[in-house]
Amino acid sequence: MNKLSIWLTSAYVRGLIGQVIGTALGIGFVQAIRGAMGLEYNIEPGVVFGALIGVLGFLLAAGVFTDWIKWIFGKKTPLRHGTPPGKPQWSRYLNVDFNHKVIGIQYGFTSVLVLLIGGIFAILFRIELAAPGMQFLKNDQYNTLFSAHGIIMIVSILLGVGAMINYLVPLMIGASDMAFPRLNAFSYWVGIPAVVLILSGMFVGGWDTGWVGYPPLSLRAPLGVQMFLLGFYIAGFSSIAGAINLMVTVATMRAKGMSLFRMPIFVWAAIATSIIQFTATQTLGMALLMVVTERAIGLSFFDAASGGNPILYQHLFWFYSHPAVYVFVLPGLGIISELLPVFSRKPLFGYKWIALSSLGIALVGFLVWAHHMFVSGMSDVLRIPFMISTLFVAIPTGVKFFSWVATMWEGKLSFETPRLFVMGAISVVLIGGITGPILGTIPTDLALHDSYWVVGHFHSTMFGGFIFPFFAAVYYWYPKITGRMYKESLGKLHFWLMTPAFWLMSLGQMRAGLLGMRRRIADYDPALGVQTTQVLITVAALIIGWSVLIMVYNLISSARAKEKAAMNPWGSRSPEWQIPYPVPEFNYEVPFEVVGDPYDYGLAGSKYIEAIPIPAVGD
């Protein structure tokens, strides 16, 4: 089969065709019923039903449900592993594959692609915002672009979290795969139609509600808001299924001797992340579905004139969306903890405390949601406990920061690209973290809520908690994934372009907020005096965009290098670095046993894992 036909018969293409057909069938079905009932013309209920059937169509056509459907009919399906016969190895990445490493890489590629799409939206509206007055965007186009930017970036982060957790955790605990490989494939593939839905919203009228979708505005927004709500809803299934898979895997598939406090620290981060995803996502699903049905079939949850309450939406939405931000950053903070000992040649300081702090952040994170609602008209008195709990989150977070400093203290530090991105991550998430309590304190929040200060705060926390660590992880595990080394010079160029630019962008956004600029505005009053700041932020955004493209070029071109990378270029003690490239299908051909602590770098005679000798025949 030639390259083109492999692409054209890939699950991506088949799925998209299935989604289009399913959507058409769904719309047609509802319109036919409406016609037969003599109802007036309204495309929206049909579009909602069609969107959901389209997602089913995607998954069926891509082949995600095939094994499960066969089980319903009593057929057995062996777990297919390895490259399908007659096809090249790379075609595995284009189809439904059950190997966690393949799925992890699929997640990773999709995450970066979606990141670039969201980045283009940002560049467009940042160029518009560089000068007051509307230059080339209309208000509704601007509003759609920032709304799409927000949700697309969130989906990119969720996909990137999925990439790291899926690729790394089974390797780190000595398992051959995740506990439920077919569910794992489902978790990845369900995200694709979700992204398609969200992007399609931009072509059916767009939407201006931002990624939060508050009613009453979302009840009156154009049709695009339905595609956004449904896409976001469908993406939730990926989180929930992935979380179940991870928790069962870690509970049941750890190597011999790997007690909970001898796991690599990233696994703790993955556990905390999964607990949040498993518990909170459903509330968001409800909130979104309530707006969908209020629009499509006339229910009355949030419309005050019909007895509804708009603030109910905010509670349901933020009950998920605050813990969600910890989903976004906990894995990244885990990557920082994972990499620092390797690049400092020192044990991880306070391993147990760091492990428990991830759980602590997850727990406290559930208790703070109303800090997004201090000005919403919620009960005045109830704001105070939320302020207290919000400030409490700083404690487990601080545990991590101080442990990192102690890990580096008097260590043998080296500054390859992954380490640089870890340091960048720490600096950026520090700014983000420090600017949080100012928002968490009610009086200062009254001045800064929905201003550009908030924009600066969350970009810092998201970049510092996800983007920088994700890039660190990509560079770090690149030799294990591709067997080649990326170009160090380009990696450093990427870092040194992106980090100062990001500081400029963050501090600029915060300055604009202090000067009084609101967020989510297509245009600003020149009298505010923020234009210079806006120009600087736009320039910074462009530099960040280019630096990411440099990384993409580096990763793609280095994969074709002739020279193979060493098996363990970083001198890590983690299990995945003790096996060669290409990583075997089932990871560890010789199982290992854990005989020591994971981060005893520099401790003479210490060992983390030992291969379990395979008994010879006849013993």
Partner 1 sequence: MFFIPSGCRNSASSRTWSPARVKQDLVPGRTTTLRITPTRLGDYKVRCAEICGTGHANMLADVQVTSADDFTAWVQERLQAPVYADMTPEERGAIWYSDPPDNQYRPCSGCHSIDGSTMSGPTWLGLYGHQVQLTDGTTVTADDAYIRESILNPNAKIVAGFQPDVMPQTFGDTFASIQADILTNEGVEIDMIADIIAYMQTLQE
Pick from 371, 449, 457, 494: which binds partner 1 (CB under 8 A)?
449
Q: Which is nearer to partner 1, 28 or 516 (CB)?
A: 516
Pick from 521, 535, 543, 583: which binds partner 1 (CB under 8 A)?
521
Pick from 376, 427, 531, 578: which binds partner 1 (CB under 8 A)?
376
Per CB under 8 A, which region of 109-117, 183-191, 432-440, 515-523 contacts partner 1?
515-523
Write 288-294 long-range contacts (CB < 8 A, 24+). 288/213, 288/229, 288/230, 288/232, 288/233, 289/229, 289/233, 290/316, 291/213, 291/215, 291/218, 291/219, 291/225, 291/229, 292/48, 292/226, 292/229, 292/230, 292/233, 294/215, 294/219
Distances (CA, A) of 166 to 26, 104, 239: 33, 5, 12
Pick from 12, 452, 524, 592: which binds partner 1 (CB under 8 A)?
524
CB of 154 to partner 1, least distance (A): 17
Q: Are residues 269 and 337 in contact, defined by beta-carbon separation less than 8 angstroms?
A: yes
Pick from 19, 31, 111, 143: which binds partner 1 (CB under 8 A)?
143
Q: Contacts with partner 1 in 377-406 (CB under 8 A)?
A: 377
Q: Tell me whether residue 514 is exposed, middle or buried, using C-beta atoms within 10 angstroms of its C-beta: 0 to 12, 13 to 18, 19 or more.
A: middle
Gyration radius of the chain's alpha carbons: 25
CB of 138 to partner 1, least distance (A): 7
Size of the residue set binding partner 1 (CB under 8 A): 35
Q: Contacts with partner 1 in 306-325 (CB under 8 A)?
A: 308-311
Pick from 446, 567, 603, 611: which binds partner 1 (CB under 8 A)?
446
Q: Which is nearer to partner 1, 304 or 384 (CB)?
A: 304
Listed residue (575, 608, 614, 577) closest to 267, CA to CA: 575
Q: Which is nearer to partner 1, 221 or 355 (CB)?
A: 221
Asked if 304 interacts with partner 1 (CB under 8 A), we say yes
Beta-carbon contacts of residue 473 (< 8 Å; ≥ 6 apart): 164, 168, 335, 339, 418
Per CB under 8 A, which region of 224-232, 300-308, 348-356, 471-479 contacts partner 1?
300-308
Convert residues 465-504 into a mask of x (bound to partner 1 by CB under 8 A) and - (unbound). Answer: ----------------------------------------
Pick from 447, 590, 603, 614: which binds partner 1 (CB under 8 A)?
447
Pick from 245, 357, 389, 451: which binds partner 1 (CB under 8 A)?
451
Beta-carbon contacts of residue 489 (< 8 Å; ≥ 6 apart): none
What gap in Å lies between CA 188 and CA 107, rounded to an integer?
6
Q: Which is nearer to partner 1, 163 or 530 (CB)?
A: 530
Q: Which is nearer to partner 1, 229 or 426 (CB)?
A: 229
Sign of CA dihedral 85, 90, 95, 98: positive
Asked if 282 interacts with partner 1 (CB under 8 A), we say no
Distances (CA, A) of 564 to 246, 416, 474, 560: 32, 18, 17, 10
Convert residues 113-142 into a mask of x (bound to partner 1 by CB under 8 A) and - (unbound). Answer: ---------------------x---xxx--
Q: Tell me whether residue 560 is exposed, middle or buried, using C-beta atoms within 10 angstroms of its C-beta: 0 to 12, 13 to 18, 19 or more.
A: exposed
CB of 153 to partner 1, least distance (A): 17
What gap in Å lies between CA 475 and CA 265, rounded to an integer?
19
Listed residue (95, 97, 102) closest to 61, CA to CA: 95
Q: Which is nearer to partner 1, 416 or 450 (CB)?
A: 450
609-611/592-594 β-pairing: antiparallel
Asked if 453 interacts with partner 1 (CB under 8 A), we say no
Residue numbers at the binding site for partner 1 (CB under 8 A) = 134, 138-140, 143, 208-210, 214, 216-217, 220, 303-305, 308-311, 375-377, 446-451, 516, 518, 520-524
